[in-house]
Structure 1
């Protein structure tokens, strides 16, 4: 076969067969620890920037909440901005949420702003201004700018095309050549945003969750696996199998982590969030994370949760939509789960 199709199929099947062999050979807790370490190693390590002091960039009173923007840093030579949304008139400390956007123009897209920072008065797009939906439910939200989008595109890319949608390609390829990954950098920054949120006086550090959409779901799941203090996780427009999505549909290069499939398929990796609460949401007509793959992944993740004695901690919603956030059940689920009956 000249084309290589059969070779790729053979290699994938061998990898999945090895996953099953290892899962039967190893104790469940032993395998979970090994997979967490493999996920961390596959993404690459970034030196922390311990000496950086967060800086307030702006503070704006909005209808029903205060919006701040702060500058943070997770690794030397690199800073990033994040919006903080704090509900008005709420008795704290309150539940908190790390809200992670997907491909688009950055965190402004989920906090109700246009690219230039002015108020977005139009009908929201696929991100549904979801950070606003969360703060309106009485949670403090942090929405970091994911590197590669909006104001965080590379100067070299903007010089070639001021309208380039992202810098994912150059960031991914150069980091991979240096033994690191764009996912690793994004997760490091997301976790730094979590640490900042947990230290805020308005926030109960024991009641913080994460919600990620699309590429933000990749960041969100990995952050949740690596940070056990994230108490609840919502993944929308992301959960699937590698076979049915990443391999079957042309995705942005930032979805690929070298060597990760040697260790496990995506559902088993997402299942490392167990036994903490997890909500999986997907559009029935999502063209890039197809519903058939979502249902396969959800079924496997459900089996993992049941094996952990946490079957009641997993919720699944397939909504009549495309690649977008719904929130019809997940917003209130997140508030209820983080409120612990309070």
Structure 2
């Protein structure tokens, strides 16, 4: 597996820290200080002779990039607000409560700043759509430039908010999905990315050819809003935390705002707006569907798992860095990843995974799919949920997968 998969960290695996005998710290059991003191104080002649229940051995040090006691932390994760665990039995009431809990952990307030868009010159394409750049206030803090594609014709058109991946590639963001007609310097990078992950296609251009209005915007750190370096991601996240904000929360709010902007365009049918993304963009797509009333459907390619199942030694999520874009501190005390995605129910949602994807173990995908099914079933809307695993594919969004998604969008929008 290439370490620089989209949506993952790209740094080298963490170094092992040897003990005196060469083993990693955390692989050994230590007697707690309290137990040792009891023995030497005469309260017991041996570890088994002390009165009362014996204290469990302390797990000390590190297990790679995890604390050695991480299994105990996992056991404490009960996801008490998850559907089926929560005492709330009405699906709509549960949806409101779960969404409020997610909002609480974003640490970024909702934003109602006027978009005040400025549209650039339109460029008409022979294959049935026009391209233009649009600059608008994504938040009260920043105006951003987006790529906007519009099919030829009168409209109103169904629309897709395209959400780019991570991939440890920061010089391009929206350009990973929309051919950068406005910047020849980014074209080579964009074409290489399309060849590597999208069968040589620009997904946004393909959607526009098939009748969808498309908007793609850079997340903070990519393209026009970067480029951040790989090492700077942690500092960026830390600095936002120090400022009482959150990198993941900011991205979540920005994606909701981008969906609202797209839905409000006079060329778009606001009842037919979908979110679509690959890898980190897939995370963003189901998250936006959960938090935005402007998104009617979502398709997420290669990002869905149970948290416990993905927090295992060797998984890229443990390397930090890119994870900060998808980390809402404290939220795991209440909800798992599929629980958050399920807030989008009963909207039509499509989750695609690759059977050979090294980033998302099969058991994590199964756990997530079971949770998703239960929530859509509670809404009596099972037919609106589609869960697909392509057994022979890894972490990619190939042309056949794209065709499958477009056909699904046609059916639900």
TM-score of the superposed pair, with normalisation by structure 2: 0.73
Counterpart CA distance in 2 for 1:279 and 1:22 is 22
**Of the candidates 334, 337, 340, which is equivalent to residue 412 of structure 2?**
337
Aligned pair 1:172/2:172, yes or no?
no
Tell me what 1:66 maps to.
130
Distance 1:16 1:111, change over 3 A: same
Aligned residue in 1 for 2:284: 219
Which deviates more from structure 2 when the two are superposed, residues 115-124 or residues 196-205?
A: 115-124
* SS of equivalent to 2:241: helix
In the alignment, does 2:327 pair up with 1:244? no
Q: Does 1:262 align with 2:320?
A: no
| Cα distance between partner residues in 2 of 1:232 and 1:331 | 12
Determine the C-alpha separation between the residues in 2 that align with 1:141 and 1:99.
7
C-alpha contact 2:83 2:94 (8 A) present in aligned 1: no
Contact 1:49–1:73 (Cα < 8 Å) also in 2: no
- Alpha-carbon distance change, 318 to 63 in structure 1, aligned in 2, over 3 angstroms: farther
Worse-superposed segment, 309-318 or 109-118: 109-118
Q: CA deviation at 1:56?
A: 1.9
Residue correspondence of structure 1 range 8-157 to structure 2 within 5 A: 8-16=70-78, 18-19=80-81, 23-29=85-91, 30-46=93-109, 48=111, 50-64=113-127, 65-88=129-152, 90-103=153-166, 104=169, 105-113=172-180, 116-118=185-187, 124-127=195-198, 128-153=201-226, 157=228
- Name the counterpart of 1:160: none
C-alpha contact 1:96 1:204 (8 A) present in aligned 2: yes
TM-score by length of 1: 0.87
Determine the structure 2 residue equivalent to 1:275: 346
Deviation at 1:316, TM superposition (A): 1.5
- 1:255 Cα deviation from its structure 2 partner: 2.4
Structure 1, unaligned runs of 5 or more: 158-163
Asked whether 1:322 is paired with 2:394, we answer yes
Q: Which protein shows a greater Rg? A: 2
Task: Indicate the larger mover: 60-69 or 46-55.
Answer: 46-55
Given that residues 150 and 166 in structure 1 are in contact (C-alpha distance below 8 angstroms), is that contact kept between their aligned partners in structure 2?
Answer: no
- Could you tell me how far 1:6 is from its partner in structure 2? 5.9
When structure 1 is superposed on structure 2, of 284-293 and 298-307 the one drifting more is 284-293
Higher helix share: 1
CA deviation string 1:283-330 (max 9, x = no partner): 111121233312221122112111210100011121222212232411
User: Contact 1:95/1:204 (CA < 8 Å) preserved in 2?
Assistant: yes
**Number of residue-to-residue matches in the alignment:** 329
Residues 328 and 9 from structure 1, CA distance in 2 versus in 1: closer, same or farther, beyond 3 angstroms? Answer: farther
